[in-house]
């Protein structure tokens, strides 16, 4: 099994940041997205990357291309029960690619991980250099 790390740090106040490959992903602070917002954005942007690459590989116009992602929550549990994605295609998008662009969006790795979720293991250790 291959492993890679992400470090979660607490820079102050309500901020909780993640560091991955030298890139800071900020959450929780003033004007910053919540972790759940990033989760939802990850679903949409992952599909977006797949759709964009599909179009680019076929030299299809991406002018006006977008995805409208809608989340439907259960009012009792407040849990998201359905996510709907509308791929808004450019004018003159070839009909022969419409089903294929949907399949491209469905191939998103984030979505695949929701269907087959990883196991979670949570444990404690002593902070390095802290007594």
* Angstrom distance (rounded) from CA 69 to CA 82: 10
**What is the structure's pLDDT at 130?**
61
**What is the structure's pLDDT at 131?**
61
Which CATH architecture best describes the domain 34-115? 2-Layer Sandwich (3.30)
Q: Return the exposure string of 46-68: e unless at least 16 CB atoms fall within 10 Å of the residue's CB, then b.
A: bbbebbeebbeeeebeeeebeee
**What is the structure's pLDDT at 12?**
93
Output the CA torsion sign for 22, 27, 33, 35.
positive
Task: Give the DSSP letter string of the chain.
Answer: ------EEEEEETTEEEEEETTEEEEESSTTPPPHHHHHHHHHHHHHHHHHHHHHHHTT---TT-EEEEEEEE-TTT--EEEEEEEEEPPTT--GGGHHHHHHHHHT-HHHHHHHSPPP------PPTT--
Q: Where are the domains of the chain?
A: 1-32, 34-115
Q: For residue 103, count other CB atoms closer than 10 A to its CB.
A: 10
Which of the residues in the chain have pLDDT under 70? Answer: 130-131
pTM listed for this prediction: 0.86
């Amino acid at each position: 099994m291959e492993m890679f790390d992400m470090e979660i740090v607490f820079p102050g106040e309500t901020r909780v940041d993640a560091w991955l490959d030298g890139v800071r992903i900020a959450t929780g602070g003033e004007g910053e997205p919540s972790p759940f917002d990033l989760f939802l954005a990850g679903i949409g942007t992952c599909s977006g990357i797949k759709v964009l690459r599909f179009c680019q590989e076929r030299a299809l116009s991406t002018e006006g291309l977008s995805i409208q992602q809608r989340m439907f929550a259960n009012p009792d549990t407040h849990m998201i029960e359905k996510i709907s994605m509308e791929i808004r295609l450019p004018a003159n998008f070839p009909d022969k690619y419409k089903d294929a662009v949907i399949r491209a969006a469905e191939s998103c790795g984030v979505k695949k991980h929701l269907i087959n979720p990883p196991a979670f293991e949570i444990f404690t250790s002593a902070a390095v250099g802290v007594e």
